[in-house]
Chains A and B, each alone.
Chain A
Amino acid sequence: MTMNKLFRTLFFMLVVRPLVLVVLGLNVRRKALLPEKGPAVIIANHNSHLDTLALMSLFPISMLPRLRPVAAMDYFMTNPWLSWFALNIIGIIPLQRKVKAGSSDPLAGAVAALENGDILILFPEGSRGEPEQLGQFKTGVAHLVKRCPEVPVIPVYLHGLGMVLPKGEFILVPFFCDVFIGESLDWQGDRNLFMQRMTSAMDALAVEGGFPPWE
């Protein structure tokens, strides 16, 4: 366990930080809105594998043990090497995307982490989708927040990471990326209302930069 923890710290200090600093370069707006401690949920749009790393690099290294990206079990847990890396180095909470009737509680891991005071990183679009396009949000987040209603949900809009490393590509091409952080959302007792507020918060952040479509 401690060995993995060391690998994890080294990976973030020696690989992720330099990568984010040199190859990408993040332009972060309103960094002060990020939570200083857990429990909290960060929700972001998803275009690239780098999204998780970029979001995690916004927090100090000392908070690394508290950062838990929620990731698809069917993608990351199929191969033993990838699953070791995802669980121990990235520190994911595996999530079963397709819930069958009668299976165990899919959100148990996420709820336990929040109870433990962790900061979850979630991509409500469910997958990376078309590069640099915002997809439809899934309701999983609302289910989770309903169960932990006092946890703040912070929307973050990422731009450019889908250009650096889109789905299906394996070579990085450097671009500056933008990270727009929004005001935190709280649970007001209704799932549809929450989904609407989440979508409009994200849409507002998405138009803030006035980015032309990437085509």
Chain B
Amino acid sequence: MIDTVPQPVLWALGGVYALLIFSSLLVRVLQKRTGKDYRELSDRIRSWWVMVTIFTLAIVVNSTLSIIFLGMVSFLALKEFLSMISTRRADRRVVLWAFLAIPIQFYFVAISWYGMFIIFIPVYMFLLMPARMIMTGQTEGFLKAAGVLHWGLMTTVFSISHAAYLLALPVEQNPQAGGAGLLFYLVFLTQFNDVAQFTWGKLLGLHPVVPKVSPKKTREGLLGGVLTTTLMAWLIAPYLTPLSYEWALGAGLLIGIGGFIGDVVISAIKRDIGIKDSGNMIPGHGGIMDRIDSLTFTAPLFFHYIYYLHY
């Protein structure tokens, strides 16, 4: 029932806890030294502790539990997405269908049925939802509703399920760390990239990159973040992935840049709707979508990169 966790993954998790302890202590020291209010930062770090602990439990027990965990993340994200945009009353049942796609999609992941996993949402759900929508017959706002529902499924379910599929890949190609190693590599680098871009932006940020969408995102933050993430990707790749050093640099660039775009795209949606945070589930971070925005881009990008190269 409990899989043996590959040694490198345990070391990597240990490294994350070391980072958490370091940042918790750092904030405490800063607070004492400067007397400034670091409540938001310490809220953020406390939430990181909770998220890392849940992620550790999910990854350490066995791969089925990890897949269920990622399915839950998809469910919460889709629920948040459909609650923050406004859906039509006529589409209540269609929304239910969208939710039912989650267990089905993650079931295909769990049984490693790649063909179905890759077409179920982009093809079948894409065709099925408008088919169900014409049964209620409300044409006003039809295209917008169909588009929004499918966009929600693609980002929160289809994209995130790519992270889960890393666990369903054959172990032989990555004997030392397995699927858990790949999942850790993706999730850690994506979140590390968020933090690195934020930190570089705070330290050196001057010139905004996308002022109309995210005025706080700067060229300096983006560049510093991508470089730091690429360096980290290069450093840890040999322990967790089958990637050689030069291909690991590519993975780092992909996650650094993809993560940035995912973050900004979700910001654009929030700006479109007129809200700041997607929810308030995670103190200091906002909602689930605020935390996994980058992952909606990095998960499919990294998955197909490694799938093409090694599987």
- Among the listed stretches A50-58, A118-126, A173-181, which one makes contact with chain B, having 4 or more residues with CB under 8 Å of it? A173-181
Across the interface, A171 reaches (CB within 8 A) one of B86, B96, B279, B281, namely: B96
Name the residue on A nearest B82 (C-beta): A175
Counting CB contacts under 8 A, is B219 at the interface? no
In contact, A176 and B279 (Cβ under 8 angstroms): yes
The B contact surface, by secondary structure, is helix
Counting CB contacts under 8 A, is B31 at the interface? no
Counting CB contacts under 8 A, is B136 at the interface? no
Counting CB contacts under 8 A, is A81 at the interface? no
Interface residues of B in 61-120 (CB under 8 A from A): 75-76, 79-80, 82-83, 86-89, 92-93, 95-96, 99
Q: Given A27-B279, A173-B95, A173-B99, do A160 and B89 touch, yes or no (CB 8 Å)?
A: no
Counting CB contacts under 8 A, is B23 at the interface? no
Chain A interface size band reads 10 to 19
Across the interface, B83 reaches (CB within 8 A) one of A131, A176, A210, A215, namely: A176
Q: How far is the CA of A27 from the CA of B281 in the complex (A)?
A: 8
The A contact surface, by secondary structure, is loop
Q: How far is the CA of A215 from the CA of B87 in the complex (A)?
A: 8
Shortest CB distance A176–B (Å)? 4
In contact, A215 and B88 (Cβ under 8 angstroms): yes
Interface residues of A in 163-215 (CB under 8 A from B): 163, 166, 169, 171, 173-176, 210-212, 214-215
A160 to chain B: which residues have CB within 8 Å?
83
Counting CB contacts under 8 A, is A140 at the interface? no
Counting CB contacts under 8 A, is A25 at the interface? yes
Q: How far is the CA of A169 from the CA of B95 in the complex (A)?
A: 14
Interface residues of B in 252-311 (CB under 8 A from A): 274, 279-281
Across the interface, A214 reaches (CB within 8 A) one of B86, B274, B280, namely: B86
Q: Given A171-B96, A173-B99, A214-B86, do A27 and B79 touch, yes or no (CB 8 Å)?
A: no
B88 to chain A: which residues have CB within 8 Å?
215
Q: How far is the CA of A160 from the CA of B283 in the complex (A)?
A: 22
Name the residue on A nearest B72 (C-beta): A22
In contact, B79 and A163 (Cβ under 8 angstroms): no
In contact, A215 and B79 (Cβ under 8 angstroms): no
In contact, A131 and B79 (Cβ under 8 angstroms): no
Task: List 4 extra interface pairs beyond A25-B76, A175-B82, CB under 8 A.
Answer: A27-B279, A163-B87, A173-B95, A210-B274
